[in-house]
Each structure stands twice: as structure tokens, then as C-alpha cells.
Amino acid sequence: MHLTGAAAVAGAFPDIAMAAAQAHRPRILVLVELKGGNDGFNTLIPYEDANYYKHRPKIGIRKQHLIPLQNGMGMNTALKSLKPFWDRGQMAWIQGVGYPQGVLSHFHSMDIWETAAMRGDSTTGWLARVLPRFKKGLHGIAISADQNALGPLAGSQLNSICMQSPRSFLSHARFIQEVPLNHQTAALAHVTKTQHQLVDVGKQIVESLQNPKGRVQQRLSKGGLGHGLKSVAEMIVSGLDAPVYKVTQDGFDTHVGQKGPQENALYQLGHGLASFAETMKQAGMWDKVLVMTYSEFGRRIVENKGMGTDHGTASAQLVMGGRVNRGIFGNHPNLGRLDQNDNVAHTTDFRQMYATVAQRWWGQPNPWKGHRILPFV
């Protein structure tokens, strides 16, 4: 269990009182990190672009082996469990996502994505520019065994917690003890304030998680992502007042033999998100939830000799939720114009996604002036 900032269901339905409380809660953002750099071109596939098959003669996915969506773009069949949400108009894709002078180091690029600081030298997550003015109290929870996995939720301005699971948090919560605030030095003031707010946040989490209405009896899906999404579902259904949750799906660093590993990771992603979405629908919360993926970078359009792909500069990310507007947003990258590293130019700045969440989802000012919002919500 780790705290940052000033301080880490398909079963039962919420009762009337809980439903009323949920109606006044802020809209929720569920961030899904695709760890390793997902290949957007074999996820959202430009099957009518001849350059795609020119650059990928062996690993390119043919039309008969994908799910057509619109405008010559198709979805990897490993994500077929998400097709019903596309058909209902509750899913969208953002293509060509990246940033200027893209960095191809996993750690450096992820720092840029999670902080929106283009030099990658910040330790404060991008949500610190939105959440403190949006609400007080608990800002978010990351589900991970890695106690440094807060990412976008990191920073002294945010009250965020990283936990392995709600049950593990409950088992440790009894050891959290209140301490009096001490202002003798700045360091002591910070430490005691952190402990004080940890107690407050801990009490809120414990109270909500002990509510039997929040138990999710059905297994959402297997694997780490399924475990994480089940934990998120339990906390949302229990009435926990947190506007952001973060989970992770790994397995996307596909330098060699890409097809099997990527499709396995996408399969887990699709099944996990489909189960989670159905749970939110049954709980009456699907209109209150926005799911958004992100990855440190995409892959190069040119396949390598190992039947895989190397780190690239543009990718495709998905969003889904009860209030999402279906569509494929952003311009498709020009696959006929490559740089000296066989990379395409990105067409959509990732900060446009963040600006859209801030302004269109939470009704807050756009902190990234010059980066226009996208109409996916």
C-alpha cells in the first residue's frame, strides 16, 4: 500500500440509497496502461492502405482476418469481445497518437505520457493539473503490486493510493494510526499531514469496501488486468468517491514473433474491458465511466527481420463508455512518408486526449492550451 500527495460486478445491484449517492459522484476515468508500447497498426488496421502491406508483407493483417469498422479501418479480431460496444456507439478510436520528436525509450517516454511534461523531467502526473480544482479528498487509486505505479496520479497535489487489491488494503488498514499535525519544520508538517490524510482516505476506503453491496461475485476475466478491473469494479459499485482508477495490461513489447504475444495481450484487454463494462451497466454506472488506454509509444510501420516491430512514434488508443461518441478520430498517419528510422509522423498529440477528458468529461478548463479537444465524448 502506497500513498502519494498530501496523504493506494456482476453480482449484487446497489440499493436505492447507494444509487442516489452515486448519482452525485463525479464522472470516473479508468486509465488502462498498455505496457511495452502497443503496435497500433496491427490493433486498428488500415487495410485499404497499400503502404501498410508494402511495409508489412508478413505480419500485416488481411481484410478477411480483421473486423471492419469504418473508413477502411478494421480492428484486430483478438478484440472481438469489444465489437458489441462499437455497434452500440459506446467505443471510439484515436489514431496517429504521439508527440513531437518522439522518444523511443520505454521509461523516458512513459514519463512524458504520464506527466505531460515534454522533457520527461517531472515527477508530477498530468492529473495534478485537473483534479485538485475538480474535487477534494481522494483523487485516485492505482491497482498494482508495484508501489511506484501511480503514474498520472503521482504528485504532492494529489491524494492517491497504490494498492495490490482492495482486500489487501483492508488487511493493512488497521495499522494506519492518526498522528497530531506538527508544524515545527516544513518536513515534519509534510510528513504529519501526509499521515493525517492517509488516515482520512483509509477510513473512506474501509467504509466503502465493507459494504456488501460492492462485492463482485463474478470473475471478470483472467490475468492481471482482470484482477485489476475486478478491484476497480468493486470500489465503484461500493460507492467509493474516487474519480480516477488505473490498471495495467503488459505484454506489448513485441520485437520478435509479434503475432501471438500481441494478440494474447489484446485478447486479455478486450475480455477484461468487456466484462468490466457489463458489470458497470448492471450497476447503473456505465454512463458515469470513461475508459481510456495509453501506451508509451507505438511501433514502427516497417516489420523487422524477427517478424516483429521496433519502437515507433505513433499509435492508436481506444476509449469506451456509456457517453462515448463512436468514431475514429484524428488523421491516419501517412504510411508513404517515413523518416530515417522508418517511423511515421504522428497526427494527434496525446495531450488532446487529456484536454478532452478535462474539458468534455469533467467540465474543467483545458490546461493544455493550443491542443484542441476531440469529439469522442
C-alpha cell at 37: 508500447
pLDDT given for residue 21 in this prediction: 44
Question: Which of these ranges, 6-15, 86-95, 201-210, 226-235, has the smallest mean pLDDT?
Answer: 6-15
CA separation for the pair 161, 8 (Å, rounded):
2
pLDDT given for residue 168 in this prediction: 81
Give yes or no for residue 106 having a pLDDT over 70.
Answer: yes
For residue range 283-309, what is the model confidence (pLDDT) as tens digits? 999 999 999 999 999 999 999 999 999
Mean pLDDT value of segment 116-133: 90
- For residue 131, give every residue at least 6 positions away whose Cβ sits within 8 Å of its Cβ, in sequence order, or none: 139, 140, 157, 158, 243, 244
Give yes or no for residue 93 having a pLDDT over 70.
Answer: yes
pTM of the model: 0.89
Cβ atoms 354, 364 nearer than 8 A: no
For residue range 16-45, what is the model confidence (pLDDT) as tens digits? 334 434 445 679 999 999 999 999 999 999
- For residue 315, give every residue at least 6 positions away whose Cβ sits within 8 Å of its Cβ, in sequence order, or none: 37, 38, 39, 40, 43, 97, 98, 295, 297, 298, 299
Cβ atoms 75, 82 nearer than 8 A: yes
All domains in the chain, ordered by first residue: 2-361 (3.40.720)
Which of 106, 70, 112 has its CA nearest to residue 91? 70
**pLDDT grade for 141, boundaries at 50, 70 and 90:** very high
CA separation for the pair 156, 26 (Å, rounded):
21
Q: Provide the percentage of residues in the chain whose pLDDT is more than 70.
A: 82
Distance in angstroms between the alpha carbons of the first and the last residue of the chain: 33
Mean pLDDT value of segment 355-371: 95
Which of 233, 203, 208 has its CA nearest to residue 221? 233
For residue range 189-232, what is the model confidence (pLDDT) as tens digits? 656 666 666 677 677 777 777 766 656 655 566 788 999 999 99
- For residue 284, give every residue at least 6 positions away whose Cβ sits within 8 Å of its Cβ, in sequence order, or none: 13, 14, 19, 22
Cβ atoms 8, 147 nearer than 8 A: yes
> Rounded mean pLDDT of the chain?
88
